[in-house]
A = this chain, B = another copy of it.
Amino acid sequence: MGFEASIRETTGQPVVIGKLDPPAASPRPPHILFYGHYDVQPADPLQLWDSPPFSPQIRRGKDGKDRIFARGASDDKGQLMTFLEASRAWLSQVGSLPFRLTIMLEGDEEGDSTHIDRFLALNAREFKADAAFICDTELWMDETPAIITRLRGCIDDEVIVTGPKIDLHSGYYGGPAVNPIKVLSRILADMHDSRGRVTIPGFYDGVKPPSAERRREWSKLRFSAKKYLGDVGLSQPAGETAFTPLEQMWARPTAEFNGIFGGYRGAGSKTVLPAEATAKLTFRLVEGQNPRKIHKAFRDFVKARLPKDCKARFSGGHGDSTGISIAADTPWVIAARKALEDEWGRPAALIGCGASIPVVESFKTHLGIDSLLVGFARDADSVHSPNEKYDVECYHKGIRSWARIISEFA
């Protein structure tokens, strides 16, 4: 296709780079960095696959629709190919793209995101672009194109509350001895108020509520909290009562308890008073929150609640990421909205994502650029599971969507 291609070493798997400059022009066209990943999740358990995971098959379903079955069909090989095929088509018809293009395909997306982060930090000048395009996300409710404009960050912490220097017998010490499980339970219970708000002082510093416009748009997304929660056996939103479930997921930070343990965990009963108890926590963060400050505020919150005979040890904070909000008024988002609506016949949903996509933060931190997050996967694609698939319809309409985006630029 005319790219200048190379393989570049990282501290993890190598990165595949392709560079294509359009003919010299004035003004110089923008530089777009397209990101995807060639690594996949393990294919286990193999016996649950209907066809070999690394021998792709197109099979027609009872609904008459064709689907590509293979590990990576959706995540992320099928998706990244939509952009490459759109570029190929454009080049074959027009001769050159309306932007400088760098393709970056990494091999550690499913593993350790610190490798690509380090690579970008070391090569920031080379990969400095005007925007990153990423095709690794889903349609909204299967039929509506979507652009992600918010991602939550995440920090983790662990606290070990220690009390007596050894486990004690509850017959002899039950009463006067402090119990670390009790102390820890009380600290965790204190961490939310009756309206679901996190009570750590300063936790919400810098957090802006979503704009009225964004809230209005989200309210029109026909998101069914009932179905979303019902699928996992729940019936009631349990977060901040002042926000809708979508807002809770996309626009609000949380303090979550991921694990707790202390004392006796075997069968039956043991009359032990434990010497310590541990909790593992993650905090989902939104734009405006400072991970370091949240760590400190949490640890101060714990220490302020320790009785004299208890101490707390902390660990964690190794993979902190910040919450990110992506401007919706950039040329790329404006172009993408128009192109996606033209292709799919309905307006693109500007949605949030409650999870983190670490490379988006790396692009922001090291290259200073926003990412355009557009993808064509569907909930039923069994990403990370046996029989991963990608709908041929999504593949074709995905290619056409990117071609329309390129066209908007042109």
A95 at the interface (CB under 8 A from B): no
Query: What separation, in Å, do the CA atoms of A236 and B353 have in the docked complex?
Result: 48
Beyond A232-B164, A238-B309, whether A265 also contacts B269 by CB under 8 A is: no
Complex alpha-carbon distance, A335 and B181, angstroms? 45
A237-B171 in contact given A257-B182, A268-B318 (Cβ < 8 Å): no
Contact present for A272 and B248 (CB under 8 Å): no
Q: Is A258 a contact of B254 with CB atoms below 8 Å?
A: no
Instruction: Check: A284 CB closer than 8 A to any chain B CB.
Output: yes
**Which residues of B lie under 8 Å from residue A236 when comparing CB positions?**
178, 307-309
- Mark contacts of A247-287 with chain B using CB atoms, 8 A cut-off: 1 yes-contact digit, 0 otherwise: 01100101011111111110011111110011110101000
Q: Counting CB contacts under 8 A, is A118 at the interface?
A: no
The answer to whether A189 and B185 touch (CB under 8 A), given A170-B282, A272-B259, is: yes
Tell me, yes or no, whether A158 is within 8 Å of chain B by CB.
yes
Task: Find residues 150-189 in chain A having any chain B CB closer than 8 Å to their own CB.
Answer: 152, 154, 156, 158, 163-166, 168-179, 181-182, 184-186, 188-189
| Copies of this subunit | 2
A347 within 8 A of B: no
Q: A: which residues have CB within 8 A of B?
A: 152, 154, 156, 158, 163-166, 168-179, 181-182, 184-186, 188-190, 192, 225, 228-229, 232-240, 245, 248-249, 252, 254, 256-265, 268-274, 277-280, 282, 284, 307-309, 316, 318-319, 353-356
Show 9 A/B contacts (Cβ-Cβ < 8 Å), sorted by A. A173-B354, A175-B284, A176-B237, A176-B249, A181-B260, A236-B308, A257-B263, A258-B263, A258-B269
